[in-house]
């Protein structure tokens, strides 16, 4: 098991560390699956089972039985969408991502942080959010690129003396982009599921904050220590707000700790870190309020959450959720790539 999530001591710890495991599951697996589909599509294997197992299901919306049952087939015909195609990501692909997205929800929060390694959970959360945004950017770029490329392919198909093998690379690139457009939104969707399951846990915020303060002692650079101090205070603020419906003025605490002395020998920081190991989840709050009462008049009390904070925190997952929904809807208006040869 990973000791601190920062410095793996053997291959198993390296493999299960936050960035390596996350890279394999949420980057290499979706991209590898897409490239494999392109290889199969470009060099079809004469085995019906193998092709059906690996290739995505490409169907015309007018032929979808469940759309007829729901009465949507006529609606799509009315809207003029029956000529568009839908790719349903392979079941095996979605099952793998579903398993990795719901695993944290199976275990109690404290056990999950301990079993996965607390630092791994924190680093993974930060890393996977960046993957989410990067995936959505790639999908949007792919949607634009595949439309431009398909327009060019349509022009080539109309040329006299057209030779498919002279332009085969264009069809392969178009297929790759088309695969990314439909598989990466599935990955982004399950990343959102994972993040939302973690956000739904009240104690997740406490252990996340506690781990951020523990990581401070593991970091060498002052900038890294400052980053995790900010994260720790912010996540503990979220925990207190979830419990008390009020918040702590962590901005003042952050500025005081950072400005008074280097974090490597900050007595104020050490006392806050110590309060997280008392076994009382509310002790850090009381300690921070005591510090605030010394620094400013009326600072030693909880305050109602500001409108600015509400907007900022609601946008934490609202923006990627909205982007994923828009991206998925946009894919329904994307024509299947042109086929120039058999």
DSSP 207-257: HHHHHHHHHHHH--SHHHHHHHHHHHHHHHHHHHHHHHSEE--HHHHHHHH
Which pLDDT tens digits describe the chain residue by residue (342 residues)?
344 455 666 777 777 788 898 999 999 999 888 887 777 666 654 444 444 444 444 444 444 343 343 344 444 455 454 444 445 567 788 889 999 999 888 889 888 898 888 899 999 999 998 998 898 888 888 888 888 888 888 788 777 877 777 777 887 788 788 778 878 888 888 998 998 888 888 889 999 999 999 999 888 899 999 999 999 999 999 999 888 888 888 888 999 898 888 888 889 899 999 999 988 999 999 999 888 888 766 555 666 655 555 555 555 666 666 766 766 666 555 665 565 654
On whether the CB atoms of residues 306 and 321 are closer than 8 A, the answer is: no
Parse the chain into domains and list their residue ranges: 11-201+320-331, 202-315
On whether the CB atoms of residues 146 and 5 are closer than 8 A, the answer is: no
On whether the CB atoms of residues 162 and 156 are closer than 8 A, the answer is: yes
On whether the CB atoms of residues 171 and 38 are closer than 8 A, the answer is: no
Q: What is the DSSP pairing of strand 57-60 with strand 85-88?
A: antiparallel
User: Nearest Cα to 26, choosing from 199, 197, 198, 186?
Assistant: 186
CA distances from 114 to 1, 120, 122, 221 (A): 10, 10, 12, 26
pTM: 0.74
């Amino acid at each position: 098991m990973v000791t601190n999530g920062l410095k793996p001591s053997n291959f198993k710890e390296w493999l299960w560390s936050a960035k390596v495991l996350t890279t394999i599951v949420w980057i290499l697996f979706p991209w590898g699956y897409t490239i494999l589909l392109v290889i199969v599509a470009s060099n079809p294997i004469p085995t019906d089972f193998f092709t059906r197992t690996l290739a995505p299901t490409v169907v015309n919306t007018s032929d979808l039985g469940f759309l007829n049952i729901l009465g949507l087939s006529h609606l799509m015909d009315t809207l003029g969408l029956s000529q568009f195609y839908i790719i349903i990501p392979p079941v095996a692909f979605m099952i793998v991502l579903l398993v990795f997205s719901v695993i944290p929800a199976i275990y109690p929060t404290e056990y999950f942080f301990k079993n996965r390694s607390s630092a791994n959970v924190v680093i993974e959360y930060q890393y996977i959010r960046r993957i989410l945004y990067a995936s959505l950017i790639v999908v949007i770029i792919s949607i634009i690129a595949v439309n431009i490329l398909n327009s060019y392919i349509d022009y080539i198909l109309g040329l006299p003396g057209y030779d498919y093998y002279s332009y085969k690379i264009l069809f392969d690139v178009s297929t790759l982009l088309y695969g990314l457009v439909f598989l990466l939104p599935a990955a982004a969707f399950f990343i959102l599921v994972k993040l939302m399951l973690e956000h739904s846990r009240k104690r997740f915020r406490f252990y996340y904050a506690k781990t951020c303060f523990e990581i401070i002692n593991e970091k060498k650079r002052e900038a890294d220590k400052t980053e995790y101090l900010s994260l720790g205070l912010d996540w503990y603020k979220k925990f207190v707000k979830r419990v008390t419906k009020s918040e702590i003025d962590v901005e003042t605490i952050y500025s005081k700790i950072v400005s008074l002395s280097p974090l490597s020998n900050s007595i104020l920081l050490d006392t806050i870190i110590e309060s997280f190991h008392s076994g009382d989840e509310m002790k850090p709050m009381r300690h921070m309020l005591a510090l605030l009462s010394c620094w400013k008049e009326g600072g030693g009390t909880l305050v109602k959450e500001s409108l600015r904070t509400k907007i900022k925190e609601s946008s934490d997952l609202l923006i990627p959720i909205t982007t994923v929904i828009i991206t998925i809807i946009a894919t329904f208006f994307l024509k299947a790539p042109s086929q120039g040869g058999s």
